[in-house]
Chain A
Amino acid sequence: MSPAGDNPLPRAGSALPRAGRALPWALVTPALGWTLLFFVLPFLAMGFSSLTAHEGGGFTLGNYSQFFANPSYWQAMVNSLQVTAIVTVVSVLLAYPFAWILAEQVPERWQRLALMLAVLPFWTSYVVRSYSWLLVLAQNGVINRALTGSGLINEPLQLANTRLATVTGFVHFFVMLLTLTIFANLKQLSPSYRKAAADLGAGPVRTFLHVILPLTLPGIMVGAFLTFVLCIGDYITPQILGGNNELLMPQLVMMQIGRRGDFPLASALSIILMAVVTVAYLACARWLKIERA
């Protein structure tokens, strides 16, 4: 990350005798100020709001205790964690072989095109992509028509407004994202690793299991963590595809704002959700460090 990481030359600061101290601060202050005013302050406001009562104000821990006391709120968190875990695992398992095929089996000069094609639907609007899956999965949608038309089933299946639909929509998005990151990872591996493994007598399977896979594991972890964070905080996909049969945390948060205007409870639920993501991050970061040592 640091652009001056291993440069033996002195830092540029020493080469700026005329600059004084005011210029550097003038450069970084607008961005810092923006972040403080529109990111840190709102976060503090949210924290403060989560400690006030919806009716009449006043300090209370009720919004937090409500989450632990109310089983339906608690259930939303369990649903969110389950869906996110399923999505992350399925997406990695689907994307890895795909990225491997793109990086290893597709001729070099077609790779860029193949990759661009693979992420093309990535560029549709996120809302529209979830809606597209609704078209596919609806009661009279493409899949049900194909299944009933071919006589495999008599009654259309309930595919939309289920957890399966939410997971499908998410996996569709994250397969594209993970294919990009894993592909980049595979391409960065020096071919000499593979040659060395072959020279030492390892077959393609052993080379993959003992050389390629371990070397790409940190990249997979980063991709999986990104998937986790983006998935658990997303409102659009579960709302459009999952419907209201089974609520996930972001839906629960939005429901407090939309239907009841209960900002304090929405704030408390958001903060709980953020705490879970932070715990996941800490767990992940520790795991990655052990991996490197």
Chain B
Amino acid sequence: MRQSVRIVSWLYALAVYGFIFLPVVVLVLFSLQSTSFPIPPFTGPSLRWYEAVLSDARLTSALVNSLLVASISSLAAVTLGFLCAWGFARFVLPGSGLLRGLITLPLTVSYLIIGMGLLVLFNWAGVPKSLLAAGIGHVVINLPLCFAIIYSQMGDHQINIERAARDLGAPEWKVLLLITVPVMAPAIFAGFFLSMTFSWDEFVISFLLTRFDTTLPVEIWNLLRSGLNPKTNAVGSLVFAVSIVLVVLFELTLLRRRKT
């Protein structure tokens, strides 16, 4: 009985891993195709499509745009979220529950609707489509996330450290910068990292709110119009590689933190 459960478990797990990895393996394998269709039979390995990607100015500038939008909007989201979380966790404010609900409300609305709303508003206000507009949208989706993560980690044990600093004569801004920020660093880092990945991968808001200068997911979307193309495979594999490096780095910093 026990033995057969084990065997069935292994087979099932193997099948699910197979399902999860099938498209990724196909993606990476055919990015090394030497002919111009990413379909069997495999004709590689060749790096010509990676060269094509790296020499494509539209793709490389979209990559830079994506990194800029992701880092700046995440920085804004984590700063606003942190200040707000501190305010709500440390002070008694009238209507606090309601206001906290308002801050986290965008989490329950799909990106498409957030993007649509901003498109209608900017259209009326005469704000042109731009990376800035997309960045504003990214702060809208990531601010509630940063707030929720940081707020949930603001325990009462940290209050005492802040209190001690105040008793020793530190002004509020010093308490904030020298005590609260270092103590909350793991939560702040987690919020920033998650915001980065969501902004980096976000498509529909950028698609609606940018025009000529755009982000990488939108540029990849434009590539898809040419149908199946090994160049798309190469760009996808590169994005995948970058993400894995980031995730591994994140895991390592987290593990090191836990050990010390």
Contacts and interface: CB of A to CB of B under 8 A. Distances in A.
Contacts of B181: none
A62 interface: no
A233 B217 contact: no
Interface in A27-70: 27-28, 30-32, 34-36, 38-43, 45-46, 49
Size bracket, chain B contacts: 35 or more
Nearest to A128: B236
Contacts of A236: 203-204
B20 A175 contact: yes
Given A3-B152, A123-B240, A125-B236, A230 B110 contact: yes
A3 B89 contact: yes
Given A35-B105, A135-B26, A3 B155 contact: yes
Contact of A38 (B120, B137, B151): B137
A172 B106 contact: no
Given A13-B90, A233-B113, A235-B204, A127 B220 contact: yes
A92 interface: no
B22 A27 contact: no
B40 A257 contact: no
Contacts of B21: 120-121
Contact of B91 (A19, A41, A128, A136): A19
A192 to B, nearest CB: 22
A182 to B, nearest CB: 13
Interface residues of A, number: 87
Given A233-B113, A273-B113, A98 B12 contact: yes
Contacts of A105: 5-6, 9-10, 13
Given A120-B24, A267-B116, A277-B108, 17 more contacts: A13-B91, A19-B172, A24-B90, A24-B93, A26-B87, A31-B84, A32-B84, A35-B102, A36-B102, A49-B120, A105-B9, A116-B247, A118-B17, A123-B240, A125-B220, A128-B27, A140-B37
Interface of A: 1, 3-4, 7, 9, 11-16, 18-19, 23-28, 30-32, 34-36, 38-43, 45-46, 49, 94, 97-98, 101-102, 105-106, 116-118, 120-121, 123-129, 131-136, 138, 140-142, 145, 172, 175-176, 229-230, 232-236, 240, 250, 253-254, 257, 263, 266-267, 270, 273-274, 277, 281
22 contacts: A15-B163, A23-B91, A27-B87, A28-B83, A28-B88, A31-B83, A31-B103, A31-B147, A32-B99, A41-B121, A45-B117, A45-B124, A98-B13, A105-B13, A106-B13, A135-B38, A142-B40, A176-B20, A230-B110, A236-B204, A250-B110, A277-B110
